[in-house]
Structure 1
Amino acid sequence: MSEIEAELTRILTKIAEAKCIKHYKAVADTVADIGNGFLSSFYKGEIHNQDTGEIISVGIKMEPPFAGINFAKFYKNEEVFYKDFLPAILTLQAKTNMKDPFDNTATYFNSETGNINFIALENVSDKGYKLHDKMAYLNRECLEKIFKIYGKFHALSFVLRRRNWELYEKIHNQYSSDMFQYFVKPEKNAIILKKSITAAYESLDHDSKVYNELEALSENCVKLYIKASEYRGKYWCSTHGDCWSNNMLFKYSDNGQVEDIKLIDFQLARDGSPIHDLAYFFYSGAAKEDLYRIDEYLKIYHETFSNILKALGEDPEELFPFEALLNEWKENALLGVFLGIYLWQVKLLPKEKYQNIFNNPADEKKPNAEEWNEIFAKLLQKTLEGDKFRERAKNILTQAFEYGIISKEKIENCFAGGYRLTVLG
């Protein structure tokens, strides 16, 4: 038995024993699915209950095979979400008979952080859930459903914070420091961000107002990014964090309609602005025509948000009125603008281009974080030079400028003041 097979079998055994299954067979699939996320390798396994004939399908997410990153911080965040926060909001929800409750996560089985880092969840791919084509836009149907899902998720968080602040604070104090700053630390990560924002700026019409007004954007994008990631408003809630399309699983009907969506990968979960979640998936997935429907999508989000609050006996106009949502979008969507541009360069890179970075034989030296960044940056450079990236980046920056999310004044205010960089271990 190989080392990975032994480890997967151990995890499956722990799950079977936790479920008090007396007679079972653990079947581990040692072929990893690598490249859908950059902080994990994905394995599958099954637990065969020999008494009932039931087969429990398990998805096991483990740290990827390269060195130099403290993966425990990321996996601990996700563990806190599944073990503490999710049960708290589901318990809150269960106290009332909701017509359309939040049920958009996979069942949690087990996890470990430290020397070994893994998260074991229900493998919903066996139920027909699958990834969206990362190179394709999210269509209107998908966008509407995702806004509704986050409306439910954020509403439950608002109510938990209001009714049980002590528990809410205890949970969120377990999360690591601002993980979003991982994208700009170390310096080589910041260079990748800066190159993508520079390429986006250069994709604009050089005679346009937006190009002239955002002249200082590239030079100050790291400062702007850090400031945008640090929410200081009053509409706090628990956020998903890393909510691009590869961290959502879609189930389709026979006629191609979206039946359901499961949110996965809560490694960047934190206490912050709900706008950070919304703007992140929106700008990393919406086509040009949908970018200009943002007010419409925010209405859909707020209607769902309000329905959950009302079902729980709360007043949405008191907790988060629609006008506040619109203002918060203009003030806090910049993080999603930057991450959307950053993610499109990744999404347009064919998966097989970077899979071979991880697929070294077991006896070869694992690439460290610095080597990975160097290889990854070279691969991304080709994407930045492509027409598809330039089109998407141009659309995002233009809409963000026209909507007031980014402006010459906001750039000037950023480099006129200070900013804080949280040090990650």
Structure 2
Amino acid sequence: MINGITLDDSVQDAIKNIKINLKFDKNTDVKVSEGSASGDGYASKTCAVQLKSNEKKLDLFVKYFPIDTIQQKEVIIKLFNNETRFYDQIYPIFEKFQLYKNVKAPFNNVPKYFNPGETRGLKPIVLENLKVEGFDLRNRQELIDEEHLCLALKAFGKLHATGFALKDQDFETFLKITDGVKDVLADTIVESGFDKVIGSCITQFIESLDPKEDKDILRASNGLQESVVDFIRNIPEFQGRYCTFLQGDCWSNNMMFLYKGSNKPLGIKLIDWQIIRVNYPVFDLSYFFYSAATSKMLGNWENYMGIYHKYFSEHCRNLGSDPNELYPFEVLKEHWRKYSKYGLGMAFLLVKAMLYDKDEAPDLAKSLEGDKIDANIFNNKTRHQDVYDRKMKDIFRHFIVNKFI
């Protein structure tokens, strides 16, 4: 126990290894405090760790699953292995590639990673503490504004462009670092019971509709639960020429924004890489856009995709590749019409998760029985249920009007 906080064995081992690797002396002071507030993580546990000696100081953020909650939960192990692979293998190659191409404004929207070494239990993810650097989570319950939205689109544009350009110019290396990356969400959606979690959210929404006022939605929602789950499960089969490396879990809680004394964001870091996949950019973009966009933004979806593609194209050119060959804007729009239903399906869950007050947020780790998620974990109506229902109606009508569904 340090500062009144009991540390998991894996975290203790990681701190010890990092102290040795970074040559902190024996008299180094170790301070531990709570990491994310309850309800911010949804599944993992976190803590903040400060190492301080006479000569140097290091502020860390540690994400972990306690040994007594892991048991034989293969889904959790796959997720943590994905994130470790990103920090250990994939992102270092992206950095090296951009450095070789002498890119002045690289994709660097990733916190610094510290290898935890060998630990008891599941290896924790150890990162720099971004809050010390002025980054913070955006209030997930508030409507997103243009500045935050466009910063995220810029980050995704650069990420996707880096993957595309590496694949274009050094396919062997791209294949080496991405070969074996499994789409954990698609692969385990039925086995983990996540299909029932999404289906339960959809059912609850449909049952709340008014037969007269919402008859257009009711008519279009026939068989929606089954079609959404089948769609998500079959996402790996959609892969083709226009695939790149994706972050996979692009919602509000997985982005931290840099603030310097005001509400205006100056930078962004993407902080969760557990659901990485190789597929079409639309799966990142629709996941993010439909969980975040206001009603007004929904009406301008094509304009925002144009903003994304501008950043994507600029970064492609800086890396020496032709964006119109790698991922033309017309292909992005075609993919949006064919595949953005993924964003709709995930929004039923994500929007509710964003609106939960912290004392309402479910504990996903505790809900697992073996590898199975409790299907009713998101059944509780949030205190902001009226906001949720209104937003989901706006999203659904957007799909109907644009004939995306």
Paired residues for 1:1-400 under 5 Å: 1=1, 4=7, 7-22=10-25, 25-29=28-32, 31=34, 33=36, 34-50=38-54, 52=55, 54-63=56-65, 66-67=69-70, 69-70=73-74, 71-111=76-116, 115-187=121-193, 189-202=194-207, 206=211, 208-228=215-235, 230-354=237-361, 368-369=368-369, 373-374=373-374, 377=376, 380-383=379-382, 386-400=385-399
CA contact (8 A) 1:201 1:394 kept: no
CA contact (8 A) 1:72 1:114 kept: no
Shift of 1:233: 3.2
CA contact (8 A) 1:15 1:110 kept: yes
Task: From the superposition, tell whether residues 325 and 357 of structure 1 become closer, same or farther in structure 2 (CA, over 3 Å).
Answer: closer
Shift of 1:157: 0.4
Taking the aligned partners of 1:78 and 1:404, their CA distance within structure 2 comes to 36
Q: Secondary structure at the match of 2:238?
A: coil
Instruction: Show CA shifts across 1:297-329 (max 9, x none).
Output: 111111111111111221111111111111111
Task: From the superposition, tell whether residues 355 and 220 of structure 1 become closer, same or farther in structure 2 (CA, over 3 Å).
Answer: closer
Task: From the superposition, tell whether residues 91 and 32 of structure 1 become closer, same or farther in structure 2 (CA, over 3 Å).
Answer: closer
Structure 2 equivalent of residue 417 of structure 1: none
Taking the aligned partners of 2:200 and 2:324, their CA distance within structure 1 comes to 41
Taking the aligned partners of 2:41 and 2:123, their CA distance within structure 1 comes to 15
Q: What code does the residue aligned with 1:29 have?
A: V
CA contact (8 A) 1:194 1:218 kept: yes
Shift of 1:21: 3.8
Q: What code does the residue aligned with 1:254 have?
A: G
Instruction: Show CA shifts across 1:205-237 (max 9, x none).
Output: 645444323322234332233234643332111
Instruction: Show CA shifts across 1:140-183 (max 9, x none).
Output: 21111111110011000001112222222222224245334444
Taking the aligned partners of 1:379 and 1:179, their CA distance within structure 2 comes to 17
Q: What code does the residue aligned with 2:137 have?
A: L
Taking the aligned partners of 2:358 and 2:379, their CA distance within structure 1 comes to 12
Q: What code does the residue aligned with 2:223 have?
A: A
Instruction: Show CA shifts across 1:396-422 (max 9, x none).
Output: 11112222322xxxxxxxxxxxxxxxx
Task: From the superposition, tell whether residues 182 and 136 of structure 1 become closer, same or farther in structure 2 (CA, over 3 Å).
Answer: farther
Instruction: Show CA shifts across 1:226-265 (max 9, x none).
Output: 2346433321111001111101111223231111111011
CA contact (8 A) 1:66 1:369 kept: no
Task: From the superposition, tell whether residues 15 and 389 of structure 1 become closer, same or farther in structure 2 (CA, over 3 Å).
Answer: same
Q: What code does the residue aligned with 2:151 have?
A: K
Query: Bigger CA drift: 113-122 or 324-333?
Result: 113-122
Paired residues for 1:402-421 under 5 Å: 402-406=401-405
Taking the aligned partners of 2:138 and 2:368, their CA distance within structure 1 comes to 30
CA contact (8 A) 1:242 1:268 kept: yes
Q: What code does the residue aligned with 1:62 have?
A: Y
Q: Secondary structure at the match of 2:52?
A: strand
Taking the aligned partners of 1:164 and 1:399, their CA distance within structure 2 comes to 40
CA contact (8 A) 1:201 1:397 kept: no
Taking the aligned partners of 1:69 and 1:40, their CA distance within structure 2 comes to 13
Unaligned runs of 5+ in 2: none
Taking the aligned partners of 2:303 and 2:240, their CA distance within structure 1 comes to 23
Taking the aligned partners of 1:387 and 1:153, their CA distance within structure 2 comes to 35
Q: What code does the residue aligned with 1:13 have?
A: K
Q: Secondary structure at the match of 2:334?
A: helix
Task: From the superposition, tell whether residues 18 and 296 of structure 1 become closer, same or farther in structure 2 (CA, over 3 Å).
Answer: same
Taking the aligned partners of 2:9 and 2:73, their CA distance within structure 1 comes to 24
Q: What code does the residue aligned with 1:48 have?
A: K
Normalising by structure 1, report the TM-score: 0.84
Taking only the aligned residue pairs, the percentage that are identical comes to 28
Task: From the superposition, tell whether residues 176 and 378 of structure 1 become closer, same or farther in structure 2 (CA, over 3 Å).
Answer: closer
Q: Secondary structure at the match of 1:101?
A: coil
Instruction: Show CA shifts across 1:3-59 (max 9, x none).
Output: 626643431221232224455515141645443223311111112243x2x211000
Normalising by structure 2, report the TM-score: 0.88
CA contact (8 A) 1:203 1:394 kept: no
Q: What code does the residue aligned with 1:262 have?
A: K
Matched residue count: 395
Instruction: Show CA shifts across 1:273-304 (max 9, x none).
Output: 11111111111111111111111111111111
CA contact (8 A) 1:201 1:218 kept: no
Structure 2 equivalent of residue 412 of structure 1: none
Q: What code does the residue aligned with 2:369 have?
A: A
Q: What code does the residue aligned with 2:357 have?
A: P
CA contact (8 A) 1:132 1:245 kept: yes
Taking the aligned partners of 1:371 and 1:180, their CA distance within structure 2 comes to 15
